[in-house]
Amino acid sequence: MRRSVIALAVLMTWISPALAEDWVPPVTDPLVQKECGACHMAFQPAFLPARSWNRMMDELSDHFGEDASLPADKTQAIRAYLTANAGDVQMKGRAWKYMKWVSPGGTPQKITENPDFERKHRFADKVWKDPKVVTKSNCPACHRAADKGYYEDD
């Protein structure tokens, strides 16, 4: 009896990050961290489907009004990482909730326009205009462990 309780506790600690609703696997690739973390946090690939990342990597020269283009070899390596870890490929942690709202052929480019994001982030205008926040994409302004994939602290 006692032994099975301990075994269960161990199992729970081991699997809980993957089951936690507000967790997504963090970016572990140093190239992605560096190149896609230069202007904003390197967003976790689980928040968008593979076809969105493919489109984004095709359009880096006009990335939300910025030129974020990279040499072909780096573009290829980053594309491979993002698509292999995309939300519709891994379906880990919170990814399935985000994917549920993406239309079957859709290639959304903004995590912050996903209805699941909008549902959890209905704050007054003054919150978004706070100089520490400025933009919805600034996840670490409110989620201290955002770069580790944890979004439960608010």
Given the rule CB under 6 A, which residues bind ligand HEC? 21-22, 35-36, 38-40, 43, 56, 63-64, 66, 68, 78, 94, 110-112, 120-121, 123, 127, 133, 135-139, 141-143, 151-152, 154
Shortest CB 6 distance to ligand HEC, Å: 29
Closest CB to ligand HEC among residues 3, 132: 132
Shortest CB 142 distance to ligand HEC, Å: 3
Closest CB to ligand HEC among residues 12, 39: 39
Q: Give the Cα separation of 64 and 13 in Å (integer).
A: 40
Closest CB to ligand HEC among residues 51, 136: 136
Q: Give the Cα separation of 44 and 119 in Å (integer).
A: 19
Closest CB to ligand HEC among residues 10, 144: 144
DSSP 3-state of 11: helix
Shortest CB 114 distance to ligand HEC, Å: 8
Q: Give the Cα separation of 10 and 1 in Å (integer).
A: 15
DSSP 3-state of 23: strand
Closest CB to ligand HEC among residues 15, 21: 21
Shortest CB 28 distance to ligand HEC, Å: 14
Whether 153 contacts 25, CB under 8 Å: no
DSSP 3-state of 58: helix
Q: Give the Cα separation of 98 and 90 in Å (integer).
A: 12
